[in-house]
Amino acid sequence: MNTSPALRDYFIGLQQSLVAVFEAIEGSGGGRFRVDCWEKPADEALTGHGRTAIIEGGRVFERGGVAFSNVAGAALPPAATAKRPELIGCSFEAMGVSVVVHPENPYCPTAHLNVRALVASKPTQSPVWWFGGGMDLTPYYPFVEDIRHFHGVCRAALSRFGDDVYPRYKKWCDEYFFLKHRNEARGVGGVFFDDLNEGGFERCFALTRAVGNSFAAAYLPLIERRQHQPYGERERDFQAYRRGRYVEFNLVWDRGTLFGLQSAGRSESILMSLPPLVKWRYDWQPEPGSAEAELYEILSPRDWLE
C-alpha cells in the first residue's frame, strides 16, 4: 500500500489552509507570506523537496513559518534512532508540516504545531511507519481563559480516539517541552505524541489530522482577543527575554531540530522556528508580585480543564 500520496495531499493542504488563515488575521494592510520552494539534489545524502512559507515584519506576526517538507535518506539520523536502536541503518522517508508563529504583541502567545509521518525500511524487513506531532502554547503574559481554551480544543480534537488519549498526550507534552538545564517548562503545554502506530494506519493518520485540523481553532481566537491590547517597552523587553528560553529548547532539546540538522536538512527551513528578537540576562529574576512574575507561577504542569 503506497500511502505517500494521501499523506502528501493532506500535509500540503494543511499548509495552504494555515497560511490563508494567518494572512486573514493580518488583514488587507498586513503582511503576506513569502513562499520558498526548494529541492535537494538527487546526489546528496538527503533527497527531497519542500515548501517553506515565511512572514516577517507583519502587522500581527513579527515572524512566522509554515513549512512542508518531504525528504528521504539512506540512513536514519541519531535523533531518530536514539530510543529505537533496532532502526539503525534503516533508510527512510519523512514528511510533515511544522508551524511556529511569533506575534509582535507580547500579550499574544507564541504557538507551535507539528504533524509528521515517517517510514523506515531495510531490504530484509517490512517497512516500519509511525506518526508524531502535537501543538503547544508559549505565553509571555498568561491569561487563564486563553490557556483553558487552547487545552479544551486539544481535548475535543482527541476525544473520539479514547478518553485516555488527551491526558496521556498532555502529560507527554509537559514532559517533552521542558528545559532540563533550567528546570523550567517552556510554556503551558498542549499535546504531544511520537512513534504512533497503535491501532493501524487509518486510525493513526486520522488522529494526526485531528490535531493538525484543530490548531487554527485552538490558537487564532487568542490572537483575535489580544492583538490590540496596548503594550510598551517593558512588555517587549520581557517577551524578548522569554523568547530566549524558546531558542534554548529548540537548539538543545528539540528532536525535530536535531533530526533535520543531523540528516543534512535545509537549515533555513529548520531554523524558521527561531524568533527575530531575543535577549539573555545573567541570573535575572522578575520582581515579586509583578505581571512578569505571574508567568512563572503558572509554568508548573497542571490540569487546565479542572
What is residue 271's predicted lDDT score, i.e. its pLDDT? 87
Q: Supply φ then ψ for residue 79, to 5 degrees.
A: -60, -25
Q: Supply φ then ψ for residue 90, to 5 degrees.
A: -75, 140
Q: Per residue in 235-262, pLDDT tens?
A: 999 999 999 999 999 999 988 888 777 7
What is residue 261's predicted lDDT score, i.e. its pLDDT? 79
Q: How many residues does the chain have?
A: 306
CA distance 109 to 104: 9
What is residue 1's predicted lDDT score, i.e. its pLDDT? 44
Helix, coil or strand: residue 67: strand
Contact yes or no for 259/80 (Cβ under 8 A): yes
Contact yes or no for 68/12 (Cβ under 8 A): yes
Is pLDDT of 76 > 80?
Answer: no
Helix, coil or strand: residue 249: helix
Is pLDDT of 42 > 90?
Answer: no
CA distance 294 to 156: 28
What is residue 114's predicted lDDT score, i.e. its pLDDT? 96
Q: Supply φ then ψ for residue 112, to 5 degrees.
A: -140, 140
Is pLDDT of 13 > 60?
Answer: yes
Which are the catalytic amino acids? 112
Q: Per residue in 137-163, pLDDT tens?
A: 999 999 999 999 999 999 999 999 999
**Cβ atoms within 10 Å, residue 210:** 18
Contact yes or no for 52/35 (Cβ under 8 A): yes
Q: What is the mean pLDDT of the chain?
A: 91
Question: Percentage of the chain with pLDDT > 70?
Answer: 93
CA distance 272 to 69: 13
- For the chain, domains (ranges, CATH) are 4-298 (3.40.1500.10)
pTM of the full structure: 0.92
Contact yes or no for 112/138 (Cβ under 8 A): yes
Average the pLDDT over 49-75 and give the result.
Answer: 91
Is pLDDT of 104 > 60?
Answer: yes
CA distance 299 to 285: 15
Q: Where are the beta strands (DSSP E) in 139-210?
A: 178-179, 184-185, 189-196
Pick the residue with more confidence: 36 or 125? 36
